[in-house]
Amino acid sequence: MTESNESLIHVADLHKVFVTEEVETHALAGVHLSIAQGEYVSIAGPSGCGKSTLMAILGLLDSPTQGDYRLAGEPVADLSASQRARIRNREVGFIFQSFNLIGDLTVFENVELPLTYRGMSSAERKKRALDALERVGMSHRTKHYPAQLSGGQQQRVAVARAVVGSPSIVLADEPTGNLDSVNSEAVMALLGELHREGATICMVTHDPRYARHAQRTVHLFDGRIVEEEEAARKQQESAELKQSGFDVA
């Protein structure tokens, strides 16, 4: 694990408890995690293990019940709602399973939207939005609406929206969950390209095929990290199995 003073993201002893009248659910139970600048990390585990809860906290969409979270070395626990919103807008790019595009905005308007909160000129917003759409191969669809696009195209637009503001980190929560295998591979290729260009990526997935795209995989189970895998070790194990005559998928 990367030391906290070198990390873009560092959480220590993170707990999240959801309380209702009848039950107390411990979604996270003492998570320790660091993500370095420029790293590509996948968070894997079965449904209900706390993956999306952890992602929401990392993206400042939710707060932990207990524990320390530092983003770029700065504590976030005492930030106001407006400060959190500002950091989300400038530092965090989100990619969701359900795309979360706004139906009555065009493709261009969806991608431009995060920039409108920055006091940026119209000309600069237009340039950045068009550049982001070109980057994901969707510049020919700027005037279309989300309902006129396939699922794979909508996710490409969502990726463009996530990176248009040059965020410090891209958080992808099951980005292939609503896609077929062809479009899933295309989105994973996009994420890989972003990472090679220097982006820091943290991706939640339950699919081991896509978890392998990351440099490091963190396994969650019952709200705790139970294992970490480095990509180099996974590749070495795969090579050894192939040399032994095993067919590795």
Quote the crossing angle between the two packed helices 181-196 and 151-163, to the nearest 10°.
20
* CB distance 105 to 113 below 8 Å: yes
pLDDT confidence of residue 22: 82
Question: Closest Cα to residue 218, out of 31, 86, 57?
Answer: 31
Question: Closest Cα to residue 175, out of 98, 247, 75?
Answer: 98
Q: Record the pTM.
A: 0.84
Please give the chain's pLDDT, 249 residues, in tens. 334 446 899 999 999 999 988 889 999 999 999 999 999 999 998 888 999 999 999 999 999 999 999 999 999 988 999 999 999 999 999 999 999 999 999 999 999 999 998 889 999 999 999 999 999 999 999 999 999 999 999 999 999 999 999 999 999 999 999 999 999 999 999 999 999 989 999 999 988 889 999 999 999 999 999 988 776 555 555 555 556 555 544
Q: What angle do CA 107, 51, 94 make, to 5 degrees?
A: 20
**Region of residue 166 (phi > 0: left; psi between -120 and 50: alpha; otherwise: beta):** left
CA distance 185 to 12: 33
Question: Closest Cα to residue 40, out of 181, 194, 179?
Answer: 194
pLDDT confidence of residue 47: 86
* CB distance 133 to 85 below 8 Å: no
